Amino acid sequence: MKRSQIKRRPLADTVLATLEPEAKVYRELDGNGLYFRVKPNGSKSWELRYKKPDGKWSWIGLGGYPETSGSLARDKADQLRADAAKGENPIVSKRTREAESLEAANSTFEALAREWHTNKRQNWTDGTASRVIGSLQKHVFPKFGKRPFTDITPMEWLEFLRSLEKTGIIEQTSRIRAICREVYDLALVSGRIQYNPLESLHKHLTTRRANNYSHVSQNELPALLRAIGSYPHADDVRLGLLLLSRLAVRPSELREARWEEFDLDRALWTIPAERMKRRREHVVPLPKQAIEALQNLHQLTGYQPLLFPGRSDKTAPRSNTVFIMALRRLGYEGRQTGHGFRHIASTILNEHGFDENHIEAQLSHVKDGVAGVYNKAQYIEQRRVMMQWYADHLDTLQRGNVVEMKRA
């Protein structure tokens, strides 16, 4: 709108948003010495006209619009007028408030954590850096991000971590505690705190690491496989559970997988080194059941780079609890985890006489040192046969007409 059309003051929000520029810069009075400034290029800002201690009039900027809204500009103007009434220089008091605000912002836990993350990430892979900041953003920042890190007590941290444990993510809670403890270590060594509030909390938290690898017995396995096959809540999650059970990969390796890693014509999945626990490329032979599941999954998510894109952010994978929550919905909380399928596969394959080296290669268990230099094609053909047998075996268990025979 044109300035000539303004009918009342203070200026309404619609006026601020639609006021048109002119050939020269101009100011429109909002009220009580506060003006709205409009430049020919369309940029807008707030200015306060005030009387200095020497009696002369001057201007002080209060911020650009729309970053500084009308209500915020009026609050700032009230503060500065009060300062002037007390004989203070408004420019000095404005700078003091800005410095205090900046100091407060830099003293939050989120600011400290991001500083720590920036220092550490130069020694991390992109995947590790992304997982660490992702955990902080999802679990910690919503709770403590805007709080001054010096004000958060050990009891608050303990209650927070215990609340995470109650959701069933025991191992992840342990990692989050370790991350936050390291964040505070940065503040400790840089002289910003005198003690680390997370230092001894592990003594009062659950340490059931084995729970992360829980798995059903072989007698219970057929019922679990049938439950997965009829999972009713989401087809992509059902197919993910099927792939976890047939391929014996780590849940994170599947959850973060990208379509470009798969060669369905050759029936191979090549997981890049940066996504592997041991930072070595890993090749997974795909049985026909896995190929069929991937083809079905491609119809659901093939238009995205990721096999399991997030619901709100398609560039990030689904939550790291997606599979454990699905198993919980099926009634297997505390009895079966995504990682537990690796233990089931190892047990069955060993009991049926498959070569231990082939099993360990499938599980990407690699020895340290020269003996552990991994040939990405190691035992591929033998593993093709082994994993096709395993997928067929699970299908037979799922149908419920298996006759147990030891493999020669």
- Is residue 103 one of the residues assigned to a domain? no
Same domain as 225, residue 276? yes
Same domain as 257, residue 117? no
Residue after which a domain boundary falls, among 207, 239, 265: 207
Same domain as 144, residue 281? no
**For the chain, how many structural domains are there in total?**
3
- Is residue 38 one of the residues assigned to a domain? yes
| pLDDT tens figures, 199-208 | 888 888 875 5
Same domain as 376, residue 279? yes
- Is residue 365 one of the residues assigned to a domain? yes
Same domain as 167, residue 32? no
| pLDDT tens figures, 341-382 | 999 999 999 999 999 999 999 998 865 443 344 444 578 999
CATH of the domain at 166: 1.10.150.130
Quick one: which of 403, 385, 253 has its CA closest to 317? Answer: 253
Same domain as 167, residue 139? yes
CATH of the domain at 381: 1.10.443.10
d(CA 83, CA 79): 6
Instruction: Give this prediction's pTM.
Output: 0.52
Say which residue, 158 or 107, is predicted with more confidence.
158
d(CA 374, CA 32): 75
pLDDT at 334 over 90: no
Q: Which residues are catalytic?
A: 250, 277, 339, 342, 365, 374
- Is residue 287 one of the residues assigned to a domain? yes
How far the first Cα of the chain sits from its last, in Å, is 87
Which pLDDT score is estimated for 133?
A: 92
Same domain as 226, residue 366? yes
Other C-beta atoms closer than 10 Å to the C-beta of 375 total 9
Say which residue, 104 or 42, is predicted with more confidence.
42
d(CA 11, CA 28): 9
Same domain as 121, residue 45? no
Same domain as 346, residue 252? yes
Residue after which a domain boundary falls, among 53, 88, 123: 88
- Is residue 304 one of the residues assigned to a domain? yes
d(CA 379, CA 382): 5
pLDDT at 304 over 80: yes
Same domain as 200, residue 273? no
Strand partners, 316: none
Query: Rounded to the nearest 5 degrees, what angle is found at the Cα of 396, between the Cα atoms of 393 and 400?
Result: 140
- Is residue 93 one of the residues assigned to a domain? no
d(CA 35, CA 61): 10
* Domain range enclosing 71: 3-88
Cα dist from 1 to 5, 18, 65, 323, whole Å = 7, 5, 16, 55
Query: DSSP characters for 270-281?
Result: EE-GGGSTTSS-
| pLDDT tens figures, 43-77 | 999 999 987 767 788 888 888 999 899 999 999 88
Same domain as 306, residue 259? yes
| pLDDT tens figures, 187-197 | 899 888 899 99
- Is residue 144 one of the residues assigned to a domain? yes
Which pLDDT score is estimated for 84?
A: 75
CATH of the domain at 29: 3.30.160.390
| pLDDT tens figures, 20-31 | 999 999 999 999
